[in-house]
Amino acid sequence: MPRIRLVFMVTFASAALRAPHAEGQQRPVRLGYDAPVGCPDGGAFSAKLAERSRGLGIEPAGANAPDVDVVIRADGQGYHGSLDVVTPDGPIRRSIDGERCADLVTALALSAALLLDDASQAGGAAPAAATRAGAAARVAELPVGPPAATRWSAGARLEASLLLASGWALGPEVYVGVGWDRASIASPSLRLGFSYAAASLDATERGSADLGWFVGRVSGCPLRLGGEATGIRPCFGAGAGAVHGAGTGEPSAPASDTALWAELDAGARAHALLFHRLVLELEGGAVIPLTRYRFLFERPEAELGRVRAAGARIAVGAGGIF
């Protein structure tokens, strides 16, 4: 409740105390904006600020000291925002907390508009010859979002792969990855993993066979549908390694063999981020084996099983991001 009351208080104050400025008057404002992935970007904040304080010529601060500096950080309860505004009487800081980043950005824009208008009334802003339409055009030229944040990840999963005509192969995978998260659909990620899967074949009176896949896999997910907290990524990958088969139950010494394994895969990976560090994921998709084998006993020949032309894979896992 205190956060809700704070937002309404800022809204009321900005509406009641802000004085209108004459059309055709522009106040140059250098903006610094830093917010985590999933929050509105700098262009959205600038648009909200321009709506609430007329005649602003807003531009990125770049290497210059900002007139308005906004910093938002995620915490365990939601988001914390700090606002620094340079006025003729010195810098003024405001701090606001919110459960939703979009609501926090709105409250910060309202507070910044109030402080800028107070500074303008005190004679601290220099007029320019540009019109309000010109100021709006300058706002539109701001970057559409903050730079992509590079995030590394590592974790483990349990996989079930439908590679054989007779059933599933089960096993673990460990992985490391890197992603470039931003507040847009274009948030690509790459992952390198190593997996082991095992299956058994029981098909003849002569015995059975144990199979094992040792596969290194690289996958890429070019897009993210949703946000940083929850979302779905379409992913594509390729794997290479070896498949090993060993016969059991033969009267003589069991034979074994190892051969090359290669595959392509495509699917969707859903994730949920907890405590800003722990990520849970569920993935499903299709697998296309590029090396297809029959598994059999020789002399006389007795087939135990074979690799599918197309299979499937599902996986569930957890990891950390840093």
Question: Which pLDDT belongs to residue 156?
Answer: 98
Confidence of residue 18 (pLDDT cuts 50, 70, 90): very low
Count of C-beta atoms within a 10 Å radius of residue 116 = 24
Q: Taking 90 as the threshold, does the pLDDT of residue 20 lie above it?
A: no
Supply the pLDDT for residue 9: 36
* pLDDT at residue 133 greater than cutoff 70: no
Three-state secondary structure call for residue 55: coil
Residue 103 has pLDDT above 80, yes or no: yes
Nearest CA to 158 out of 288, 281, 321 is that of 281
Calpha distance 71→84 (Å, rounded) = 9
Closest to 133 in 3D by CA, of 24, 58, 22: 24
pLDDT of res. 76: 64
> Residue 129 pLDDT > 70, yes or no?
no
The residue whose two tokens read 């299956």 is 199
Which tokens go with 204? 């003849």
pLDDT digits (tens, 9 = 90+) for 36-51: 877 888 888 988 888 8
Do the strands 149-164 and 278-289 form a parallel or antiparallel pair, or are they unpaired? unpaired
Q: Look over the chain and give the mean of its residue pLDDT values, rounded to a whole number.
A: 80
Mean pLDDT of 185-200: 94
Q: How far is CA 74 from CA 34, 81, 196, 258, in A?
A: 12, 9, 37, 50
For range 81-107, the mean pLDDT: 87
**Mean pLDDT value of segment 62-77:** 83
Confidence check: pLDDT of 222 > 60: yes
d(CA 97, CA 85): 18
The contacts found for 236-241 with CB under 8 angstroms, 24 or more apart, are: 236/264, 236/265, 236/266, 237/191, 237/264, 237/265, 237/266, 238/262, 238/263, 238/264, 238/265, 239/195, 239/215, 239/263, 239/264, 239/265, 240/215, 240/216, 241/213, 241/214, 241/215, 241/216
Contacts (Cβ under 8 Å, ≥6 apart) of 22? 55
What's the token pair of residue 50? 């321009």
- Over range 259-276, report the average pLDDT: 94
Q: Hey, which of 46-60, 99-113, 188-202, 296-310 has the most confident mean pLDDT?
A: 188-202
Which of 121-135, 218-232, 259-273, 288-302 is predicted least confidently?
A: 121-135
Q: How far apart are CA 76 and CA 56, in angstroms?
A: 35
Q: Which residue has the higher pLDDT, 98 or 149?
A: 98
Does residue 165 carry a pLDDT above 80? yes
| pLDDT score, position 255 | 76
pLDDT of 253 strictly over 70: no
Rg (CA), the chain: 29
pLDDT > 70: what percent of the chain? 79
